A = this chain, B = another copy of it.
Amino acid sequence: MPSHTLQFRVRYSETDQMQTFYNARVLEWFEVGRTELIRAMGIPYVEWETRGIFLPLIEARIFFRGRARYDDLLEMTVTLKAEGRARLLFDNRIVQADGSGPVADGYTIHPMVSMETGRPVRTPDWVIELLNKE
């Protein structure tokens, strides 16, 4: 299964009055993780859209495990799994990069949808190849 790890810092704009990151921001981080995993697999997501496939989000689940403050360096690992013949599941784990503990984990589920028809399609061959490469 394709997997990718990246590091990033908590922005000031991502904190809230509890002095930790605001919960919705995790979904933005998950999306950054998907972007970078897909790039690392060889075909950036912008190119997926050019090829007529997009990946809307139909379900997200997040478990909040620990605090993270402004400027904390976090490490996120994203793993991609096929969900049946027409869906992708991205699994995300975010921890403090200094090893001091987990921050949040969860997954997002995406059908592959045709830009042209707006309808779900079966996994195209070039996506199956990407999934099997690693």
Stretch at the interface among A61-69, A77-85, A86-94, A125-133: A61-69
Q: Are A59 and B62 in contact (CB under 8 A)?
A: yes
Q: Is A60 an interface residue (CB 8 A)?
A: yes
Q: How many protomers of this protein does the assembly include?
A: 4
Q: Are A69 and B17 in contact (CB under 8 A)?
A: yes
Q: Is A7 an interface residue (CB 8 A)?
A: no
Give every chain B residue within 8 A of A9 (Cβ-Cβ).
35
Q: Are A71 and B45 in contact (CB under 8 A)?
A: yes
Mark interface residues in A48-64 (1 if CB within 8 Å of B CB, else 0).
Answer: 00000010111111111
A-to-B contact residues, CB < 8 Å: 9, 11-13, 15-19, 22-28, 31-32, 35, 44-46, 54, 56-64, 69-71
